[in-house]
Amino acid sequence: MAEKRVMEMALATTGIDSAGRPVRIPLGVEGEDVEPELGGEHMLLNLGPQHPATHGVLRLVVELDGEVVVRCVPHVGYLHSGFEKLGEYRHYNQIIPLTDRTDYLAPMSNNVGLALAVEKLMGLTITPRCTVLRVIACEMSRIISHLVWLGTTAIDIGAFTPFLWTFQEREKIYDLQEAWTGARLTTSLTRVGGLMADIPDGFVEGLRTFCQNFHKTIDEVERALTRNGIWVARTQGIGALSGEEAINWSLSGPMLRASGVDYDVRKDRPYLGYETYDFDVPIGEVGDVYDRYLVRVEELRQSNRILEQALDRLPDGPINVDDHRVILPPKHAAMSDMESMIHHFKQVMEGVKPPVGEAYLPIESPKGELAYYFVSDGTAKPVRWRIRPPAFINLAALPRMAEGHLLSDLIAINASVDIVMGEVDR
């Protein structure tokens, strides 16, 4: 115990070596228990479902030996809404509002993923302007999602201030999102074959201003955390997974990349022309909480790069495909032209009808590989709509990561998974 205290005192100084790189400071001595074996009986601790550190309604039943986690049993499903079942009773465009509510920290990227999956099913090619606008939507979502993650994880580990900085910055994106879609959360941005609306006046300038100033916030947060002795001690070596294990657990997104596996859907299964953008995919080495933090922070910077490039290349032109079997004709045409009125009627009453077939389309959502899998029997409602939920699959590895760590580390590990219960439970 005394030794641990001394170690914590030592950590009060910043954990950097002479070259200025962060150093990994073990808490306690390698191979030696932090606490002596107490030999008593194990304790059962119920954490959640209502607990601020469980990021929603996750319930963890933890078996503790003293303060060490022997076993952790997650119980999920408290937010189960049956979205997949609901989707089977809805037209394809009516499913889009459901996707808002799955990963509610990044609704626009869910909307984009859904539209892309249906378009793959129908073999539609979207317009160049729509493609770039969807890239902008995806990267805006990644930034707000990672900012929430950064702020709340810092709070979980005990740093309060970064939360205020990141949420302030997130608000700027939310303002733009609201100007574009009319909503902060229920964006329903996309439609099959296009978008609900084009960007409003002043949007490009607003986003450019954001891009130019965004790095300042990241620098500030990094200054407060990256070389902070307490942050380093609380995150380094905690919840580490090797690359092999991360693949075995089907992890995706920053969780997989922090373990050193170079897999980013944007690079490896490109969609929306991501292969034409110049950006890097950050890869971790150790796969611990600290690496996940570094990976996500770097992804914020890379998203900013993509946003700048997308704004530079944003072409003029229509946002919707020119096919009135898919996209509603303009209102004035529907009111004056017979054919348009019929298309309008059929669209509203019958919906979009993809051919018989099935399509699985993954996108790199902020949480990881988000995929929508559709099976169509040629009618306007899908036979099966499957959400491949990255947060759910990443969370499955939590018991493995938490084993043998302290209870307080369980909170840090859980935070590092970046779960959204709306998506885990669907």
Partner 1 sequence: MNPSVAALRERFGGAVTRSFESCGDTIVHVDATRAIEILRWLKDTPGQDYNYLADITAVEHRDGERPIEIVYELFSLTRKVPLRVKVELPKAEELAVDSAVPIWAGANWLEREVFDMFGVTFRGHPDLRRILMWETYAEGYPLRKDFPLRGRFSRSEQVRQALNANPEAHYSMEELAIANVAHELPAEIRDRLARGQRGVIPDPEGGRG
Binding site for partner 1 (CB under 8 A): 41-44, 61, 63, 73, 75-77, 80, 82, 84-86, 89, 120-121, 123, 245, 247-252, 261, 263, 268-269, 357-360, 362, 369, 371, 373, 375, 377, 383-384, 386, 388, 392-393, 395-397, 400, 425-426
CB of residue 361 vs partner 1: minimum separation in angstroms? Answer: 9
Contact assessment for residue 384 and residue 90, using Cβ atoms and an 8 Å cutoff: no
CB of residue 340 vs partner 1: minimum separation in angstroms? Answer: 29
Contact assessment for residue 378 and residue 402, using Cβ atoms and an 8 Å cutoff: no
C-alpha closest to that of 162 among 146, 138, 185, 174: 146
Alpha helices in 71-127 (DSSP H): 83-87, 92-100, 107-122
Q: Which is nearer to partner 1, 77 or 315 (CB)?
A: 77
CB of residue 168 vs partner 1: minimum separation in angstroms? Answer: 35
Q: Which is nearer to partner 1, 200 or 378 (CB)?
A: 378
Name residues whose C-beta falls within 8 Å of residue 59's C-beta, 6 or more positions apart in sequence: 46, 47, 48, 49, 74, 75, 76, 78
Separation in Å, CA 9 to CA 2, 12, 18, 27, 169: 11, 5, 20, 11, 33
Q: Which residues of 196-206 are buried (b: 16+ CB within 10 A; e: fewer)?
A: beebeeebeeb
Contact assessment for residue 281 and residue 265, using Cβ atoms and an 8 Å cutoff: no
Q: Which is nearer to partner 1, 41 or 316 (CB)?
A: 41
Torsion of CA 124, 129, 132, 138, to 10 degrees: -70
Q: Which is nearer to partner 1, 249 or 290 (CB)?
A: 249
Q: Which is nearer to partner 1, 176 or 261 (CB)?
A: 261
Q: Structure tokens of 327?
A: 């996209």
Cα–Cα dist 292/417, whole Å: 8
Which residues on adjacent β-strands are paired with residue 387?
372
CB of residue 250 vs partner 1: minimum separation in angstroms? Answer: 3
CB of residue 396 vs partner 1: minimum separation in angstroms? Answer: 4
Helix, coil or strand: residue 270: coil
CB of residue 110 vs partner 1: minimum separation in angstroms? Answer: 16
Start-to-end Cα distance in the chain: 44
Q: Which is nearer to partner 1, 18 or 50 (CB)?
A: 50
Cα–Cα dist 250/252, whole Å: 6
Cα–Cα dist 174/186, whole Å: 12
Cα–Cα dist 418/415, whole Å: 6
Q: Which is nearer to partner 1, 120 or 172 (CB)?
A: 120
CB of residue 248 vs partner 1: minimum separation in angstroms? Answer: 5
Cα–Cα dist 409/237, whole Å: 10
Q: Structure tokens of 90?
A: 């809805």
CB of residue 388 vs partner 1: minimum separation in angstroms? Answer: 5
CB of residue 35 vs partner 1: minimum separation in angstroms? Answer: 19
DSSP letter for 406, please.
Answer: B
CB of residue 359 vs partner 1: minimum separation in angstroms? Answer: 4
CB of residue 108 vs partner 1: minimum separation in angstroms? Answer: 23
